[in-house]
Amino acid sequence: MRGAVLHAPGDIRVEERADPVIVEPTDAVIRVTAACICGSDLWPYRGIEKPRLPRHMGHEYVGVVEEIGSDVRAVRVGDFVVGSFFASDNTCEICRAGYQSRCVHAVSMGSIGTQAERARIPMADGTLVATPGVPDPRLVPSLLAASDVLGTGWFAAVAAEAGPGKTVAVVGDGAVGLLGVLAARHLGAERVIAMSRHGDRQALARDFGATDIVTERGDDGVAAVKELTGGLGAHSVIEAVGTQESMMQAIRSTRAGGHVGYVGVAHDVALPGDELFFSGVHLHGGPAPVRRFLPELIELIIAGAIDPGRVFDLTLPLDDAADGYRAMDERRAIKVLLTP
């Protein structure tokens, strides 16, 4: 089968890879209907993260089950499925508490690489959620978004305790930040402040429910959020970048006793203990337990209540993955969908 492989920073090639097979009786093999490129894929692409190379790429996917191991019960051959970027058993104590991305048996789908024609899904019963019937092709981008960016933005909004009566600020205008706006609004937030300096992203943020746009960054961005919140800061802040500046911007934009939900994969971040202490904020985040939210998100998408697939502003055949990486690296695209 064909699949994307990173050979060196900036060097993505779609090439022949071994067809996946059932390894454990709990595995499934899916034919990938759509995959995509994640902001976090850019870290190794840019050489900032240095994984062992060559590396199979991609961890987001929707597809059709082609084969199941002998112990798989919850999904069947032919099912259209959505899964998280972490495979999880969904039965251990950590999973049952809602933290499937930290399942005691978690397998990173990034180590498998879903930007490919097929993929092996470990612990299929715990990892995959089948849609009711084969979905309308127009829903595929939204279902694919649920696999990571929507689930991650949703988790960030839940971690930030977005809800009725709350003012929510969102740091980061990538796909996750934009879907954090959507999630915050859907969870009932009264006011959602999107922080973005890009017109197209501002427009999408407004469509997703942002009530205010702040174009300033860093201390000026903090001051703008305070200005909009009676000097107190937002109740809830979503952090969806992962840098020192964005984390401090998020913490400083939050009122004492408020909540920061952070999902940007942290790179070279060191949080000053004294400032964090006196900020009095709640801090929660990490790799989103997308599996917790998948059933609900799939239902909302099928019902047409949310349309997260709009974050995909470029669709390419899998074979053109390299073009997709370039477009995202140069911020010409918010998020790129790949069709094998």
Q: Which residues bind a copy of itself (CB under 8 A)?
A: 93-94, 97-99, 101-102, 104, 230-232, 242, 244, 247, 255-257, 262, 265-274, 276-287, 289
Output 94 or 302, the one with its CB closest to a copy of itself.
94
Instruction: Report d(CA 269, CA 242) in Å as an integer.
Output: 8
Do the strands 11-16 and 2-8 form a parallel or antiparallel pair, or are they unpaired? antiparallel
Output 85 or 262, the one with its CB closest to a copy of itself.
262
Output 61 or 86, the one with its CB closest to a copy of itself.
86
Nearest distance, CB of residue 267 and a copy of itself, angstroms:
7
Instruction: Report d(CA 217, CA 156) in Å as an integer.
Output: 20
Output 35 or 281, the one with its CB closest to a copy of itself.
281
Instruction: Report d(CA 63, CA 310) in Å as an integer.
Output: 19
Nearest distance, CB of residue 223 and a copy of itself, angstroms:
17
Nearest distance, CB of residue 224 and a copy of itself, angstroms:
19
Looking at residue 37, what DSSP letter applies?
A: E
Burial class (CB in 10 A: 0-12, 13-18, 19+), 152: buried
Nearest distance, CB of residue 169 and a copy of itself, angstroms:
16
Nearest distance, CB of residue 195 and a copy of itself, angstroms:
19
What residues contact 118, with CB distance under 8 A and at least 6 apart? Answer: 1, 19, 20, 29, 30, 31, 32, 63, 66
Output 11 or 111, the one with its CB closest to a copy of itself.
111
Output 74 or 94, the one with its CB closest to a copy of itself.
94
CA 257 to chain centre: 26
Nearest distance, CB of residue 8 and a copy of itself, angstroms:
23
Query: φ and ψ at 44, to 5 degrees?
Result: -70, -35
Are 116 and 104 in contact, with CB atoms under 8 Å apart?
Answer: no
CA dihedral 50, 51, 52, 55 (to 10 degrees): -120
Are 149 and 177 in contact, with CB atoms under 8 Å apart?
Answer: no
Looking at residue 339, what DSSP letter applies?
A: E
Output 174 or 308, the one with its CB closest to a copy of itself.
174
Nearest distance, CB of residue 89 and a copy of itself, angstroms:
14
